[in-house]
Amino acid sequence: MNDNPRPLTIGIPRETYPGESRVALIPDLIPKLTKAGIKVKVEAGAGKAAGILDDDYRSKNAEVVGDRKELFESCDIILQVRGVGANTQAGRSDLGLFKQNQSVIAFFEPLTPDKSLKELAQKGVNVFSMELMPRITKAQSMDALSSMATVAGYKAVLLAAEKLPRMFPMFMTAAGTIAPARVFVIGAGVAGLQAIATAKRLGGVVKGYDIRPAVKEQVESLGAKFVEMELEAGNAEDKGGYAKAMGEEFYRKQRELMAKVIKESDVVITTAAVPGKKAPILITADMVKAMSPGSVIVDLAAERGGNCELTKPGETVEVNGVYIIGTDNLPSSVPFHASQMYARNITTFLLHLVKNGKLEINTEDEITSGTLITHNGQIVNPQVREIMGLSKDA
């Protein structure tokens, strides 16, 4: 009889997505895992881009492993920022490293899945997607999407302020009065509300808009003016609390009504994205043409095609003197705190799954079943199965 069974072991690989600077676990959280009977292994250099050294992990009794293959072979659970579904090129080299009954927790972009999810299922890997965390009170501390949206909304305003040839606050000077920057934030989810708050802190005059009238109070509580759209939006919110896709006729009328506000704005920040779908076009080329030279658009939906017709994902373009920033992976540009927030989310989730030093996949639990994509060799998440065209019996 083995009186000292091997403890549950988690592995933290170095992220391989181009430009990804975050890491899935920070050293300060390791004692919580150790207390729960979990051993931590970290690939050498995993935290370097976030300002975390290997010795920082060692100081918390984590084992630093130099070989990636060895890390995967020796761990029961892999924690990542970007799983292979969200890292479709570089991430594919990890597919051969996973083993049967291993689990992985990460962002996977499961609502735009590729064949990697099927391959992981066939290998017998349990995949948990952080994007699918239910929006319920019990899971708030595990909501990594909201954490990353907070970082993106904050950084979007800083990018705009750096590019704008004006200062944000009003100044009364001997040289005269300097008018404040006029900022328009489209979308009042977590990213939009953080953008509004940051723009207000910098001294801008801020307006906000969302297709969900219920968020008016939140926008106004931050000191911004809510732009009223006299439209019958119907139910503009899905069961998870996210804005849902509306009909093209709705978006056409919306664009007409917003054209005036955009024309009067120095900075426009767009955050309108629907999970798994192409972002709606809210700013047309004609609207950009009507903006004053030097104005700035920061498009947080660039990775899903962009809310601006002229956005180029991952690039900053200038059109008629207007700068359009098609930001890509913005949370990674603040890697220290983004890693800190993500690590807390994923650690809380991991500890929710682990009971008495073992991973328990309880499909009766709403949080577990909501995030579980593959189990027992199958794609099990109903939403993902529908998107992949899998029948109930497949």
Domains and CATH numbers, the chain: 8-142+336-387 (3.40.50.720), 145-328 (3.40.50.720)
Q: Which ranges constitute the DSSP H helices of the chain? A: 30-35, 54-58, 68-74, 116-122, 144-163, 190-201, 216-221, 248-263, 285-290, 335-353, 366-371, 382-387
The predicted structure's pLDDT at residue 275? 78
Q: What's the chain's Rg over C-alpha atoms? A: 23
Res 2: pLDDT: 46
Question: Using one digit for the tens of pLDDT, what is the confidence trace for 320-337?
Answer: 999 999 988 999 999 999
Collapse the DSSP code of 172 into the 3-class scheme (helix H, G, I; strand E, B; otherwise coil) and give the result.
strand
Model pLDDT, residue 225: 96
Residue 249 has what pLDDT? 75
Q: Which of the two residues, 254 and 116, has the higher pLDDT score?
A: 116
DSSP summary character for residue 309: T
Query: In this predicted structure, what is the pLDDT of residue 312?
Result: 96
Catalytic residues: 135, 140, 143, 146, 242
Say whether pLDDT at 171 is over 80: yes
* Closest listed residue to residue 145, CA positions, set 117, 110, 120: 110
Checking if the pLDDT of 234 tops 70, the result is: no
In whole angstroms, give the CA distance from residue 183 to residue 297: 10
- 3 state SS of 241: coil
Of residues 131 and 275, the one with the higher pLDDT is 131
pLDDT at position 69 is: 97
Helix (H) or strand (E) holding 372: strand 372-375
In this model, does residue 245 exceed pLDDT 90? no
Hey, which residues does 38 pair with through a beta bridge? 8
Closest residue by Cα to residue 146 from 307, 154, 114: 154
The whole-angstrom separation of Cα 83 and Cα 380 is: 18
pLDDT in tens, 184-208: 999 999 999 999 999 999 999 999 9
What type of residue sits at position 267?
A: V
What tokens appear for 245 in the block? 């896709």
Average pLDDT, the chain: 92
